[in-house]
Structure 1
Amino acid sequence: MTSALRALDQEYGGGACRDACVALLGWANPLLDAGSSGRVLHRLQVAIADLHNLAGWASFDLGLLESAHRHFGRAMDLARASGNSALEANIHYRMGRVHLHYELAEDALASFRFGLPIAQASGSTLAVSILHANEAWALAKMGAERQALRQFARAQDEFDRAETEEAPPWARFFDLADLVSIGGMVHTELARTCDVKYARTAIPLLTRAISAGGQDASRSQSFRLAALAVNYLVQNEPERACEVGERAMAVSGPIRSARTRDRMRPLKQEADRLRGNEAADQLSARLGVFMRSQGAA
C-alpha cells in the first residue's frame, strides 16, 4: 500500500496521497503493540517507518512543515530501532531537502553530511550517491563552486558503483534521470551564484533529464522544465524561456503540490530581471497568474 501511495505522490503530488498515508498510519501504528518480536518486529518497524517517511514527504510537498517534521521524527525513531541504516540515511536526505527548499542551504548541508556516514555504514552506494548529489546542490546554492562540482563527481562515481544494487523502495526514485537532473540543478545554481557560464552546461543536463524522465514523474518534470527556463533567462534568451516556462506550468497544473508553485519563484525572479523585454514580461505575467491560482488551490 505504501508503494502505491508513493507512486501517487510522484505523479500527482503530496495532495494525492497524504490523507491516505495518515489514515493508513492510524491502522498500522497499533500493530507495533501487538507483541511481535525479532525479525517480524524489525520488518514491521521498517514498513511503518517507510510509511511515516512518505507521509512526511507528502506533508512537505503541501507546505505542512510541522506535520512533515513530526512524521520524519517518527520515521527516524523506527528506522533506528529496526537497525535499518539505509532508511535512516534516506530520512536525513529528505529532512535536508526540506531545508534546501526553504533556502536554508547550510542546514541542508548539515543534514546531508550527518546522513553520509550512516549511508556508508549501511553498505548502500545508492544511498551515498543520493546524499553526495544533494550535498553538491546545497554547496552550489552557497556559491561553493569547486566543492559542489567535486561532490557531484563523487555522487556520479557512487551511482556507477550502485548499478547492480537492488534499491529499497524509498530510494528507487533515484535513477539516472534523477542524477542527471540534480546535476542540472547544481549547474543552474552555479549559474546564478558564481558564473553565468554554467547555464551552458545546465541546459544539456536538464534537457537530457527531461527526455529520460518517465510519464509517472510529472512533479520532477515540472521542476526540470522550470530550471531549464531559468537557464535560458540567465543566457538572455527570453523567447525560449517563455516557451519552456509555459510547458512547466502546463505540466504543473494538475499536480497537488505547493512545491511546484514555489519552484517557479526563481523563474519569475529571472523574468523580472529582464523587465522591458516582451517575452520576459509575458512570462512574468503568466507566472504571477499561475502562482496565485496554485496558492488559492
Structure 2
Amino acid sequence: MDNKYGGAHSRSAVTSYLAINVEPMLRDGRAREAVRNELVTAAAELHQLAGWMAYDTGHADVGRTHLRTALRLCQQAGDDGLSAEMLAAMSHHAAFHGAPESAVDLALAARQTAKRAGLPALQAETAVMEAHGLALQRDMQRCLAAMRDAENAFSEIDTADVPSWLRYFDGAYLSAKFAHTFRDLGRPQEAERFARRSLEMSAGYERGRLFNTALLASILADMGRPEEACAHGALAV
C-alpha cells in the first residue's frame, strides 16, 4: 500500500498497530530466544516502514525516531544485515536534509556492518549512500571510488541470497542513486543518463516512479531544457 499510494495513505494504521499491538508484545511477551529475535526483527522492519512513511510525508523528526528505534531493535536481535539497512536509510535522510557529513559517517558505519553481513546487494547500497554524501561534499575522487565499489558489489549479487526486505534494491534503484550523485557532483549529462535508466523499474513501485520522474525533470531543468523538464514534471504530478 505504501509503494502504491504513498506514506500518507497508511501511516496512521502502521503507527497505531505499533503502539497498540507491537510495543506491548515487545515489553510484556515471553518466548524462546529464537522466537523473540524473530519478533524483534519484525518490529524493526515495521518501524523502518513507519520511518519512511513519516519521511515521505514531511515528518523528518518522527522518521528519525522510528529509524533509531529500528536500529536498536536490529542490534538487539544481532541482525547485522538489517542494522546496515537502517544505517543506510539514516544516511539517505541526512543527505536529503542537507547534512552531508552525517550522511557520510552513517554510510561508513553502514558499509562496515554490511561487510559483516556478507550481502553484496547491501554492500552496493551502502557504498552508493556514501558516494551521495561525498558528492554533496564535492569530494569527487572519493565519490567516484565509492560508486565503483557499488558497481562491483552490484555485479556480485545472487538474487537467491537477497533477503525479502532488500529486494527493492535493483538496477533501477541503483541508477536513481547514481543520478542523484552525479547531479550533486555537477555532472548533469551522466545524471540524465542514469535518471532515464532509473525509470526501467519493476511494476508495483509507483511511488518510486514518481520520485525518479521528478528527479529527471529537475536534472533537465538544471541543463536548461525547460520544455522537457515541464513535460516530465507534469507526468510526475
What TM-score, normalized by structure 1, do the two folds share?
Answer: 0.75
2:101 aligns with 106
Q: Which deviations, in whole Å up to 9, do the C-alpha atoms of 1:225-262 show, x marking residues without a partner?
A: 2222222223222222221222122xxxxxxxxxxxxx
Query: Secondary structure of the equivalent of 1:241?
Result: helix
> How do 1:110-189 and structure 2 match up within 5 A?
110-189=105-184
Distance 1:167 1:244 in 2: 33
Match of 1:243 in 2: 231
RMSD between superposed Cα atoms in Å: 1.6
Letter in 2 for 1:47: A
Matched, 1:17 2:5: no
Moved more, 141-150 or 162-171: 162-171
CA distance in 1, matches of 2:113, 2:134: 20
Q: How does 1:1-297 map to 2 (within 5 A)?
A: 8-25=1-18, 26-32=20-26, 33-191=28-186, 198-210=187-199, 212-249=200-237
1:249-291 residue CA offsets vs partner (Å, 9 max, x unmatched): 2xxxxxxxxxxxxxxxxxxxxxxxxxxxxxxxxxxxxxxxxxx
Separation (CA, whole Å) in 1 of partners of 2:59 and 2:198: 28
The percentage of aligned residue pairs carrying the same residue is 26
Q: Which amino acid aligns with 1:30?
A: P
Which structure has the larger Rg? 1
Task: Write out the 4+ residue segments of structure 1 that deviate beyond 6 Å after TM superposition.
Answer: none
Other structure's SS at 2:161 match: coil
By how many angstroms is 1:54 displaced? 1.1
Gaps of 5+ in 2: none
Letter of the 1:20 partner, please give it: A
Residue 17 of structure 1: SS of its match in structure 2? helix
SS in structure 1 at match of 2:158 = coil
Question: What is the letter of the counterpart of residue 41 of structure 2?
Answer: V
Matched AA of 2:236: A
Aligned-partner residue type, residue 57 of structure 1 = W
CA distance 1:205–1:69, shift in 2 (3 Å): closer
Per-residue CA shift, 1:54-81, capped at 9, x if unaligned? 1111111122233222222221221111
**How many pairs are equivalent?**
235
SS in 1 for 2:229: helix
With 111-120 and 227-236 compared, the bigger mean Cα shift is at 227-236
* TM-score normalised over the length of structure 2: 0.92
Question: C-alpha offsets along residues 156-177 of structure 1, whole Å, 9 cap, x if unaligned?
Answer: 1111112344322322211111
Counterpart contact for 1:112–1:132, Cα < 8 Å: yes
Partners of 1:126 and 1:167 within 8 A in 2: yes
